[in-house]
Amino acid sequence: MEEEMNKPLILVTNDDGVNAKGIAALVEIVKPFGEIVVVAPLHGNSGMSHAITVKVPIRYKKIKEVDNVTVYGCSGTPVDSVKLAMSEILKRKPDLIVSGINHGSNASVSIIYSGTMAAVIEGCIYGIPSVGFSLLDYSNDAEFSPIIDHGKKIVENVLKNGLSYGTCLNVNFPAIPKHEIKGFKVCRQAKGMWKEEFDKRLDPRNGEYFWLVGYFENTENGATDTDEWALSNNYVSIVPVEIDFTDYNKIDELKKWNYEI
């Protein structure tokens, strides 16, 4: 028991669901570093951002326990999974929270919509070093083996050096063979946006319904210090993310506005 308490406790979650191929790869990344507890949604929750469940009950169940890894499925969202783990499942505060590996990019503004990164930001709120991992491959059968060793380097560094309160990491991997990855780039989030389009269709009763589609537009293609540039040039991008949304540069300007009532 004392030996177990000395090992780092690592909480693993995601937004693609507890049975996703990506979360199995993430478990392989963190397994050498400590005791692993997985608490993740029973079903896919992509694009849920920081949603929490408040109108229906949340349930969880133990799925399996093998080789120092205990896996639970949660009926709620990724953030629900972290909250439930912290309040009900874990017997002590984890030393690290990791989320992913997401099937698809969470670079640039995708972080705003990402359930993967919302779980990481929730870990930040608890004051726990937290890292989100994503692979630029949206396939359910994406190949994660080329990035296992690179992921271990990041986990090792975070466990050794820690992260300051309120800061987490958004890590994205290009979907290329291992030998083509040039290295790591610590960088900033690229400016860009999703250009939404809706595919309108008719149901059998002639009622309209819509599928959200679209594409991402990088609005600063010439910048070489962003995550989008790093990924397109075969680097792993590492973006430090703060939970404090305050634009401190604007405070003095806004104080000069006329607020007279």
Q: Would residue 30 count as lying in a domain?
A: yes
Asked if residue 207 belongs to a domain, the reply is no
Confidence at residue 261, expressed as pLDDT on a 0 to 100 scale? 85
Q: CA-to-CA distance for 62 and 71, rounded, in angstroms?
A: 6
Structure tokens at 172: 């994205």
Assess if residue 40 is contained within a domain. yes
CATH code for position 7: 3.40.1210.10
Q: Work out how many domains the chain is built from and give that number.
A: 1
Q: Is residue 38 part of a domain?
A: yes
Residues of the chain with pLDDT under 50: none
Domain presence at residue 209? no
> Whole domain around residue 123: which residue ranges?
2-191+221-255
Burial 33-70 (b: 16+ CB within 10 A, else e): bbbbbbbbbbebbbebbbeeeeeeebebeeeeeeeebb
Instruction: Judge whether 75 lies within some domain.
Output: yes
**198 assigned to some structural domain:** no
**Residue at 228 is within a domain:** yes
| CA 112 centroid distance within chain | 11
Query: What is the Cα–Cα distance from 16 to 82, expressed in whole angstroms?
Result: 15
What is residue 186's predicted lDDT score, i.e. its pLDDT? 98
pLDDT (tens digit, 9 = 90+) per residue, 45-101? 988 899 999 999 999 999 999 989 999 999 999 999 999 999 999 999 999 999 999
